[in-house]
C-alpha cells in the first residue's frame, strides 16, 4: 500500500509542476534584449494571460511612443504580496518586448520602479518569481 501512495504523490507533484508552467507557445524572456521604458499607468487590469497561463495582472502604460501592455505576474501572486498599481502612477519598467497574441506592443516586466519603490516579478535571468 505504501508504494502506491508514494507513486500517487509523485504523479500529483509532477502534474502540479506541469500546471504551473507557462503555455508552450508563450513568449520567452530574453535577458539580452532587456530594455527600460518610462510612462504613466493608463489602466490596470486582470485577464486570462497567455504568458502566465492563468489569470494575470497587467498594466496599460502610456509612453512617449504610445500605449504598451505590460505583463506583470499571476493575479494571485500580486494579491498574496499586496502589490498594486493605480491609474496615474509614474513608472519605470525594465523588461523585454514580446508579441503576445495579436498584441505586438507588449512588455514582459522583470521589475517596475515607482518613486522609491521597486517591484520585482522575475529574477535576473528572467525566470518568473510567481
Write out pLDDT tens, residues 37-51. 999 999 999 999 988
d(CA 41, CA 86): 7
All three cell numbers of 82, joined, read: 499586496
Q: How far is CA 58 from CA 75, 100, 113, in A?
A: 9, 12, 15
- Give every residue of the chain whose pLDDT is below 50, as ranges: 1-20
Boundaries of domain holding 42: 25-120
Asked if the structure places residue 115 within a domain, the reply is yes
pLDDT at 23: 63
Asked if the structure places residue 34 within a domain, the reply is yes
Q: How far is CA 106 from CA 35, 38, 56, 58, in A?
A: 12, 14, 14, 10
d(CA 122, CA 8): 32
Alpha helices in the chain (DSSP H): 2-20, 75-80
Asked if the structure places residue 104 within a domain, the reply is yes
SS3 (DSSP) at 17: helix
What total number of domains does the chain contain?
1
Closest C-alpha to 59, from 50, 47, 76: 47
Asked if the structure places residue 80 within a domain, the reply is yes
Asked if the structure places residue 76 within a domain, the reply is yes
- Say which residue the cell 520602479 belongs to: 113
Q: CATH number for the domain including 67?
A: 2.40.50.140
d(CA 130, CA 121): 7
**pTM exceeding 0.75:** yes
pLDDT at 24: 66
Amino acid at each position: 500500500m505504501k508504494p502506491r501512495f508514494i507513486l500517487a504523490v509523485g504523479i500529483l507533484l509532477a502534474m502540479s509542476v506541469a500546471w504551473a508552467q507557462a503555455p508552450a507557445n508563450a513568449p520567452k524572456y530574453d535577458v539580452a534584449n532587456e530594455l527600460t521604458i518610462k510612462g504613466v499607468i493608463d489602466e490596470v487590469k486582470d485577464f486570462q494571460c497567455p504568458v502566465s497561463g492563468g489569470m494575470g495582472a497587467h498594466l496599460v502604460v502610456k509612453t512617449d511612443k504610445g500605449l504598451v501592455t505590460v505583463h506583470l505576474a499571476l493575479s494571485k501572486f500580486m494579491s498574496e504580496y499586496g502589490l498594486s498599481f493605480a491609474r496615474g502612477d509614474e513608472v519605470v519598467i525594465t523588461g523585454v518586448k514580446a508579441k503576445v497574441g495579436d498584441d505586438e506592443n507588449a512588455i514582459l516586466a522583470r521589475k517596475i520602479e515607482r518613486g522609491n519603490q521597486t517591484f520585482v516579478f522575475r529574477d535576473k535571468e528572467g525566470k518568473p518569481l510567481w
